[in-house]
Amino acid sequence: MTQAIRTTCAYCGVGCGIAATPTGARSVEIRGDEAHPANGGRLCSKGTHLGETVGLTGRLLHPMIGTRRTGWDEALGLVASRFRETIDRHGPDSVAFYVSGQLMTEDYYVANKLMKGFIGSANIDTNSRLCMSSAVAGHNRAFGEDVVPATYGDLEEADLIVLVGSNTAWCHPIVYQRIQAARAARGTKLVVIDPRRTETCEGADMHLAIKPGTDVALMNGLLAWCHATCTIDRTFLRDHVSAPDGFWDHILTGHDVRTIAAVCDVAPALLEQFYTLFAGTPRTVTMFSQGINQSIRGTDQVNAIINVHLATGRIGKPGAAPFSITGQPNAMGGREVGGLASTLAAHMDFAPDNVARVGRFWAAPAMATEPGLKAVDMFRAVEDGRIKALWVMATNPAVSMPDAGAVRAALAACPFVVVSDIIADTDTGLHAHVRLPAAGWGEKDGTVTNSDRTVSRQRPFLALPGEAMPDWWIVKEIAARMGWGPAFAFDGPADIWREHARLTAYQNDGARLLDLRAHAAIGNEAYDAMAPFSWGGTPFADGRFPTPDGRARLVPTHQMALEPQTRDWPLTLNTGRYRDQWHTMTRTGLAPKLARHREEPLVDIHPRDAEALNLSDRDLARVRTPQGDTMFRVSVSEGQRVGEIFTPIHWTDQVSSGGRTGLLPRPLVDPHSGQPGFKSTPARVEKVETEWRGFLILRGQEPVRPPCLWSTRVAVPGGTLYEVAGNGDPARLEALLPQGERAEAVDASRGTRRVAIIRDGRLSGVLFVTRSGQLPARDWLIAQLEAEGVGGAVLAARGPGNQPDKGAIICVCFDVGLNQIVAAVRDQRLVDVAAIGKALGAGTNCGSCRPALANILAQTPQEILHAAE
Ligand code: SF4
């Protein structure tokens, strides 16, 4: 039997350990790694289903120049010569790299070294800019270094956990499971601060649905409350923290409970309850995520949280810290090597002595001396022609950047675009002059750092397919062709890791906490066998901070006036993730099970707003902002605040005719971090009328583009499901059906058309359309793709047993739907999540759906119990 390879999950910043056992050339069995400190064997739905994503569907397997396949030599030669020519003619700032938190630390290190030490520009920025750069700026302002002062272990030692701007149950599911386990074990209190009522709130003691953008007022009010209730740690402040003149005068003026409750639009009694709980609980962890970071005042929001922890001395102690949790698997590793345009390397900035130090270490011929262009400014520079050659590595800015339509136009106009990626056709890759096939998860070899500073190995267990190569190798080869071969003569990731470790230790007399000197001479075998480790111990346990005077800083933060909603733009758009999808779905979109949770992009809207706009569940609607517009299905939700809507970030032109959220947000950024404010864009919603709607199921995964107003595509077992809607004659969609024996049923009175194509007793495709009636559930029809002896009866869309519609899939591991759960709760009088698990299996594998099960129980017990009588 093949041995399991210990590696790390491809997705979020929780950084779960995985034991991967190859079962074939491109197949693998996935288990959680019980020995990994992040997850102790648990995996969420995305991690659990990673095995479904390692096939070669859609892979970029060969270097391409335009649409022509070429060899590495020609492709690398072209990239190196075009970058060299551009630099020679227009200077080093005329080129840029846009990289990604998906890269290994070693990949990042080599790319950063090339740009900042040899090309001589700092125009390398990462998609982590969109994710947590406000946390970086906040840490630097308060602590003097970008150090996360908490670990996951603190969650198990805290008596109170406050989640701010974080749908942890969906976005960091294993952290959420650790929180719930801590609650069960020691009664830890949980408070959620979020404008939306998400599934994270289901397991909480308190939810404060504050008005978006009022976090600074909330935290300043909390600090004023702590001052009034003598919760300030005066000794810690005296010995270890500096406050600028006027700091306390500002906090103690106008931050009373009534005023803050009015600003935040929450009940004063609820606010006082939260403040009292916080003030009375020394062991408190405040965990924050994109709701704090993705704001044009994100850095102040971060510092308002840190201020409270510094002032109450709740830092550097077990179970007490502010805790930024990152989105991407290696956002932290990128921060460590200087993958952001605003940092140099190894947690050093662009101070002249740092530039000189790194220059000496690299023996660099052309050190960058000042920060480069951050992501939004970088694409503006592409747009206005200042940047003439751009290399995008492992990311999809044509979808993920704010005002993505403008980014796409900039890419189209850029004289030279290189994309290295694992996927052949991304929305960004369509604009590339050269595409380079990179190694994917399961093939990569390197390290990643998760949200709590744990460094883990990602180990390969699959052969590199086609001509794909690791990112570090691609960068090294370009550097060599540009004339810097000796400085990039790395023979593998261990070699790069050693150099990175040496740089963290170089002339570091304790001024920088990031110090990996113990790894500076690590052997290749020891690198291969490296167990997860966390650097930095318990930061600030001795009260010393990496500032020139060793003291932390309280940073004055002021609540900014909120932008009023207007007649033209009466709603505010918030954006974020779905539980079972990741970024632009290039990987999760390959996993049929993951698609079942949400098959289409939805716009969530409060019932009052929906009524005013004449919208019902499942209508089509166009969301419009000053930047652009795109369509979504409507989901009417009490979880939204009135006046606010929410859309997911995942859908692209590759899979949908609409739902491209990236088109909508403004490219406005936080002044300190440059992070865009994705969470509040003025918007409006308009109903879209269509004459018919339906679905198409096709065998296989070769994509097609349905000729209609609305379509979305998801992988299903054995095939592909398209949801469609449009006007005119839907019969034109029949051209997408394969050849074969045809069965057909038409009901003119209801405007329904059902067509099935059967070949050799197997279903090849179906098209179901209705003008006014209901459509059947898709599950049974999808299951027929893998059945034998299918006949014309398939048009009834159900088997002989007349199985009921499962409803929306809640548990993707066991394929359990909402209708099944509601029926079981009603008929079997199930009263808790464990009972549902026992009856249906739901929630007993990865556990990602447990908050949803709790939500179902919380929302419907009276009605259900009543129905059972
Ligand atoms: Fe992967 Fe889920 Fe763990 Fe995140 S929480 S690292 S997505 S298994």
What is the structure's pLDDT at 858?
84
Query: In angstroms, what is the span from residue 379 Cα to ligand 1's centroid?
Result: 30
In short, whether 44's Cβ falls inside 6 Å of ligand 1 is: yes
Which of 8, 36, 49, 172 most suits a substitution to test ligand 1, by most atoms within 8 Å of the C-beta?
172
In short, whether 497's Cβ falls inside 6 Å of ligand 1 is: no
SS3 138: helix
Atom of ligand 1 nearest to the CA of 175: 5
Determine the angle formed by the axes of helices 105-113 and 493-505, rounding to 10 degrees.
70
In short, whether 173's Cβ falls inside 6 Å of ligand 1 is: yes
Atom of ligand 1 nearest to the CA of 174: 5
Query: In angstroms, what is the span from residue 46 Cα to ligand 1's centroid?
Result: 6
How far apart CA 621 and CA 631 sit, in angstroms, is: 6
Atom of ligand 1 nearest to the CA of 14: 6
607-611 contacts, C-beta under 8 A, 24 or more apart: 607/636, 607/637, 607/638, 608/642, 609/571, 609/640, 609/642, 609/643, 609/645, 609/685, 610/634, 610/636
Q: Within its chain, how far is the Cα of 741 from the centroid? A: 44
How far apart CA 582 and CA 598 sit, in angstroms, is: 12
Which of 152, 174, 850 most suits a substitution to test ligand 1, by most atoms within 8 Å of the C-beta?
174
Atom of ligand 1 nearest to the CA of 329: 6
Widest pairwise Cα distance in the chain: 83
Which of 7, 8, 11 most suits a substitution to test ligand 1, by most atoms within 8 Å of the C-beta?
11
In short, whether 11's Cβ falls inside 6 Å of ligand 1 is: yes
CB contact at 8 A, 708 and 730: yes
Q: Quick one: CA torsion of 771, 776, 778, 779, rounded to 10 degrees?
A: 180
Query: In angstroms, what is the span from residue 192 Cα to ligand 1's centroid?
Result: 21
Give 658's DSSP letter: S
Give 119's DSSP letter: I
In short, whether 12's Cβ falls inside 6 Å of ligand 1 is: yes
Query: In angstroms, what is the span from residue 173 Cα to ligand 1's centroid?
Result: 7
What is the structure's pLDDT at 655?
87
CB contact at 8 A, 69 and 63: yes
Atom 4, ligand 1: residue with shortest CA distance: 12
SS (H, E, C) 661-710: HHHCCCCCECCCCCCECCCCEEEEEEEECCCEEEEEEEECCCCCCCCCCE
Query: In angstroms, what is the span from residue 101 Cα to ligand 1's centroid?
Result: 14
Which candidate, 99, 205, 218, places its Cα nearest to that of 164?
218
In short, whether 120's Cβ falls inside 6 Å of ligand 1 is: no
Query: In angstroms, what is the span from residue 39 Cα to ligand 1's centroid?
Result: 9
Give 657's DSSP letter: S
Element of type H or E holding 524: helix 524-528
What is the structure's pLDDT at 802?
58
Determine the angle formed by the axes of helices 375-383 and 404-413, rounding to 10 degrees.
50
Query: In angstroms, what is the span from residue 38 Cα to ligand 1's centroid?
Result: 10
Query: In angstroms, what is the span from residue 838 Cα to ligand 1's centroid?
Result: 25
Atom of ligand 1 nearest to the CA of 582: 7
* Amino acid letter, residue 758: I
Query: In angstroms, what is the span from residue 12 Cα to ligand 1's centroid?
Result: 5
How far apart CA 104 and CA 96 sit, in angstroms, is: 19
Atom of ligand 1 nearest to the CA of 12: 4
Q: Which residues of 151-169 are buried (b: 16+ CB within 10 A; e: fewer)?
A: bbebbbbbbbbbbbbbbbb
In short, whether 32's Cβ falls inside 6 Å of ligand 1 is: no
Q: Are strands 628-636 and 552-553 parallel, antiparallel or unpaired?
A: unpaired
Query: In angstroms, what is the span from residue 456 Cα to ligand 1's centroid?
Result: 14
Query: In angstroms, what is the span from residue 18 Cα to ligand 1's centroid?
Result: 10
Query: In angstroms, what is the span from residue 698 Cα to ligand 1's centroid?
Result: 31
In short, whether 16's Cβ falls inside 6 Å of ligand 1 is: yes
How far apart CA 297 and CA 290 sit, in angstroms, is: 12
Query: In angstroms, what is the span from residue 171 Cα to ligand 1's centroid?
Result: 8
SS (H, E, C) 585-619: CCCHHHCHHHHCCCCCCEEEECHHHHHHCCCCCCC
Atom of ligand 1 nearest to the CA of 45: 2
What is the structure's pLDDT at 865?
44
- Residues 6 or more apart whose CB falls under 8 angstroms from that of 284 comprise 158, 159, 160, 161, 162, 278, 309, 314, 319, 320
CB contact at 8 A, 257 and 223: no
Give 463's DSSP letter: P
In short, whether 14's Cβ falls inside 6 Å of ligand 1 is: yes
Query: In angstroms, what is the span from residue 45 Cα to ligand 1's centroid?
Result: 8
In short, whether 43's Cβ falls inside 6 Å of ligand 1 is: yes
How far apart CA 838 and CA 842 sit, in angstroms, is: 8
Atom of ligand 1 nearest to the CA of 38: 3
Query: In angstroms, what is the span from residue 797 Cα to ligand 1's centroid?
Result: 36
Residue with tokens 């209508």: 619
Atom of ligand 1 nearest to the CA of 10: 1
How far apart CA 597 and CA 591 sit, in angstroms, is: 11
Q: Got the DSSP string for 554-596?
A: -----PPPPPPP-SSS-EEEEEE--TT--TTSTTGGG-HHHHT
Atom 3, ligand 1: residue with shortest CA distance: 16
Query: In angstroms, what is the span from residue 48 Cα to ligand 1's centroid?
Result: 8
In short, whether 46's Cβ falls inside 6 Å of ligand 1 is: yes
SS3 146: coil
- pLDDT, averaged per 10 consecutive residues of the chain (869 residues), comes to 90 96 95 97 95 93 98 98 98 98 96 98 96 96 97 97 96 96 96 96 94 97 97 98 97 97 98 98 97 96 98 98 92 93 97 98 98 97 98 94 94 98 94 98 97 97 98 98 98 98 96 96 97 95 96 97 93 93 84 85 97 95 96 96 95 88 94 94 96 94 92 91 94 93 87 92 94 85 88 79 75 88 90 92 90 86 47
In short, whether 527's Cβ falls inside 6 Å of ligand 1 is: no
Query: In angstroms, what is the span from residue 16 Cα to ligand 1's centroid?
Result: 6
In short, whether 30's Cβ falls inside 6 Å of ligand 1 is: no
Rounded to two decimals, the pTM is 0.94
How far apart CA 750 and CA 237 sit, in angstroms, is: 73
Q: Quick one: CA torsion of 390, 396, 399, 400, rounded to 10 degrees?
A: -100
Query: In angstroms, what is the span from residue 448 Cα to ligand 1's centroid?
Result: 13
What is the structure's pLDDT at 801?
62
Atom of ligand 1 nearest to the CA of 32: 8
Query: In angstroms, what is the span from residue 50 Cα to ligand 1's centroid?
Result: 10
Which candidate, 492, 500, 501, places its Cα nearest to that of 472?
492
SS3 348: strand
The pair of structure tokens assigned to 839 is 């009856």
Which of 43, 45, 152 most suits a substitution to test ligand 1, by most atoms within 8 Å of the C-beta?
43
How far apart CA 245 and CA 787 sit, in angstroms, is: 75
Residue with tokens 């045809």: 742
Element of type H or E holding 249: helix 247-251
